[in-house]
Chains A and B, each alone.
Chain A
Amino acid sequence: MVMNISEFKTLYMKTAREYLDSMEHAVTKLRKNYSDKEAIETMYISSHSLKSQSIAIGYSQIGSLSNLIENIFYEVKENTIKLSADILSTTLEAILKLQQTLDTLGKENRFINLEENLRKLDTIIQYRK
């Protein structure tokens, strides 16, 4: 039996917004200091958690975009991707789009297309390889 977890949607919306706020704040810190380990860790853990929750509740595009952010910051932690103004800008764009997605989901019960953000973040990972 697979559980119906729509009853937890309100909790999801609250915690998802908190993760995105943390990530937005972390990007602001990283723009001043690319080596800020605490901010990098925040990005990694928050995006990982947002990915997990989003997949669990059935919001797969949000999960996929969060997964890409998680992967990027895993590589940053491992020093296999070097942060740059471009990477942070693309990441921030994705975070803002996710915040907008949650707003639209909450008010209009519909999703925004995240394809462009997915493509841009995927390019960062692919280019690194």
Chain B
Amino acid sequence: MKILIVEDDVFFQKFYSTKLKEKGFEVFIAGDGEEGMQKVKEIKPSVILLDIIMPKKDGFEVLESLGKDPVLRTIPVLVFSTLGQTKEAERAKKLGARDYVNKTFFDFDRLLAKIAEVTKK
């Protein structure tokens, strides 16, 4: 299964890509929202893990762009939230994200469960 991680922080890119690859996922990374949109169109991932605060295009703008495309908006998005970002995570859900995961508290089983939930047909 293809996962696209859209995240500007190298630490979290490395952490999540390493752990997801160990579980057999094919992982792609984009370092900002603009690159994220390019890669979504190229790769058509099964799920997107999307950070909110990023340079160039932030997570909200990515969600808005995805929402305008009839094909891309069907790709499930999980947003990464951090401490104190509950309002932002709720806003992301209103823009089409399926759910959010707290990236600062590494509950990997929970992340895998959410990926399974949003990608089941």
Contacts and interface: CB of A to CB of B under 8 A. Distances in A.
A56 B15 CA distance: 11
Contact of A45 (B10, B55, B104): B55
Interface residues of A, number: 20
Interface in A48-78: 48-49, 51-53, 55-56, 63, 67
Interface in B1-21: 8-12, 14-15, 19
B11 A15 contact: yes
B106 interface: yes
B109 interface: yes
B83 interface: yes
A53 B9 contact: yes
B8 A56 contact: no
A85 interface: no
Contact of A15 (B10, B19, B104, B106): B10
A64 B103 CA distance: 16
Interface stretch (A1-9, A29-37, A98-106, A112-120): A1-9
Contacts of B82: 48, 51-52, 55
Interface of A: 1-3, 5, 8, 11-12, 15, 41, 44-45, 48-49, 51-53, 55-56, 63, 67
Interface of B: 8-12, 14-15, 19, 53-55, 82-84, 103-109
